[in-house]
Amino acid sequence: MTEEQQSAVRPAASTGRWGPPPALTGFVVLLLAMFALAYGVGSAAGPVAPGMRSTVGDAGPAEPGGGMGGMNGGMGGMNGGAR
């Protein structure tokens, strides 16, 4: 009798195929949905930084000198310690 009861409870049969856990699938779907939502909101809002504009059709940099503003020689006194 005990053998019949033990054999009635069998482990789940494996199909031989691997599948991702449902929690992982749900997480990936949620991640993709959040990315799509954020992209849509960002596209609708447009550029938010001051002076930011599209690069489509620009002939060159926005500022003379390569667009690096006041970054020319800011560390002028640093020449290796030799004077």
pLDDT, tens digit (0-9, with 9 covering 90-100), for 22-76 = 999 999 999 999 999 999 999 998 888 877 777 776 555 555 555 555 555 555 5
The total number of residues shown for the chain amounts to: 83
pLDDT value, residue 48: 80
Token digits for 28? 């990936």
Higher pLDDT, 9 or 40: 40
Amino acid (one-letter) located at 70: G
pLDDT value, residue 37: 98
Token digits for 72? 């020319």
pLDDT value, residue 47: 80
Note the pTM of the prediction, 2 decimals: 0.41
